[in-house]
């Protein structure tokens, strides 16, 4: 069933990373899948993304919650490029591409956000299918375009995740195995530590407390536009959470009912637990 908890650790880490690296999306287009409270996407919108499309399962309560957070955090005059849409992973992306400006060369997104989604093991193929067709194929440039506007970095897919069920970590990582089979290449980015989201759950606390970060780009030959950071928790989150414009106004899901059932994953035996750092995936030509 849908998990209707408040701000997830991955979204907090995601928001801080986007806040620190606006070069990934300023002047470009951002798609957030499974947005929940939409914290990362809202940060991107406030920091200069031209178009931001926030999506989640097309349930009225979920979509209304995203709309509430957008209205609470983004002034009315700045919402022209922010769109909220119900979307099921793996379905055609044309309804999302229609929000992109008409003057862009390619109807595709410069940055796709996946925040703590890969524990949905049965949905890996669907997520990858959507990302594969929605991410721009253009080459990234640093600097400005012919009109003098800042050009976004190379298109990328950012994946932040935690192994909430350590005994199923290998199932989480199957997402990236499938991505490799589709031609994506990998590079480590960063990890962050937080108190576990579900402290009463079983499994090694160190594993459940770690947020991993991964990123995906369209041109293997290009240097990664995602910035590597040391693998330790730093005070940059304190800088972020002190801002009143984002996190304090986000309504969480604690009082919302469970909404629907999703297809459960297969029951698996115990496998070797492999602790993977974040990786950068690039799509091969």
| Domains in the chain: boundaries | 9-147+160-264+273-283
Query: 39 vs 8, which has greater pLDDT?
Result: 39
In Å, what is the CA distance from 276 to each residue of 76, 103, 134, 188? 42, 40, 26, 9
Instruction: Give me the mean pLDDT over the 257-264 stretch.
Output: 32
Across the chain, mean pLDDT equals 75
* 21-25, 121-125, 143-147, 198-202: the lowest-pLDDT one: 143-147
| pLDDT average, residue stretch 111-127 | 95
Per-residue pLDDT band at 181 (split at 50, 70, 90): confident
- The lowest-confidence range among 31-40, 80-89, 126-135, 218-227 is 218-227
pLDDT band at 229 (very low <50, low <70, confident <90, very high): low
Confidence of residue 276 (pLDDT cuts 50, 70, 90): very low
The angle formed by the CA atoms of residues 8, 246 and 161, to the nearest 5 degrees, is 25
What's the whole-model pTM score? 0.75
User: Which pLDDT score, from 0 to 100, does residue 137 have?
Assistant: 81
Per mean pLDDT, which range of 33-47, 96-110, 170-184 is the poorest?
170-184
Distance in angstroms (rounded) separating the CA atoms of residues 285 and 225: 18
Please state, in angstroms and rounded to a whole number, the distance separating the CA atoms of residues 93 and 76: 27
- Long-range CB pairs of 79-82 (<8 Å, 24+ gap) are 81/45, 81/49, 81/50, 81/51, 81/52, 82/45, 82/52, 82/54
| pLDDT bracket for residue 278 (50, 70, 90) | very low
Domain 9-147+160-264+273-283 sits in CATH at 3.40.50.150
Lowest mean pLDDT among 5-14, 199-208, 274-283: 274-283
Beta strands (DSSP E) in the chain are 29-33, 51-56, 82-86, 111-115, 156-161, 184-185, 190-193, 210-217, 280-283
């Amino acid at each position: 069933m849908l998990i209707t908890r408040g701000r997830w650790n991955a979204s907090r880490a995601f928001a801080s990373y986007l806040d620190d690296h606006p070069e990934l999306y300023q002047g470009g287009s951002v798609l957030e899948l499974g947005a929940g409270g939409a914290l990362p996407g809202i940060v991107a919108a406030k920091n200069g993304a031209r178009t931001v499309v926030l999506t989640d399962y097309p349930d009225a309560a979920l979509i209304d919650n995203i709309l509430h957070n957008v209205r609470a955090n983004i002034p009315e005059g700045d919402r022209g490029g922010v769109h909220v849409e119900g979307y099921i992973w793996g379905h055609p992306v044309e309804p999302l591409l229609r929000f992109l400006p008409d003057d862009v060369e390619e109807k595709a997104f410069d940055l796709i956000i996946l925040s703590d989604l890969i524990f949905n093991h049965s949905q890996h193929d669907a997520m990858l299918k959507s990302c594969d067709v929605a991410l721009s194929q253009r080459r990234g440039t640093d600097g400005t375009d012919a009109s003098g506007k800042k050009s976004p970095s190379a298109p990328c897919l950012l994946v932040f995740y935690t192994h909430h069920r350590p005994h199923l970590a290998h199932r989480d990582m199957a997402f990236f195995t499938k991505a490799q089979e589709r031609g994506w290449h990998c590079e480590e980015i960063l990890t962050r530590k937080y108190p576990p989201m579900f402290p009463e759950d079983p499994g090694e606390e160190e594993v459940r407390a770690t947020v991993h970060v991964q990123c995906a780009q369209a041109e293997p030959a290009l240097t990664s536009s995602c910035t590597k950071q040391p693998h330790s928790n730093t005070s940059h989150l304190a800088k972020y959470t002190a801002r009143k414009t984002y996190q304090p106004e986000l309504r969480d899901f604690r009082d919302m009912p469970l909404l629907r059932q999703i297809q459960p994953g297969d029951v698996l035996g115990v496998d070797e637990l492999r602790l993977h750092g974040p990786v950068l995936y690039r799509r091969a030509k």
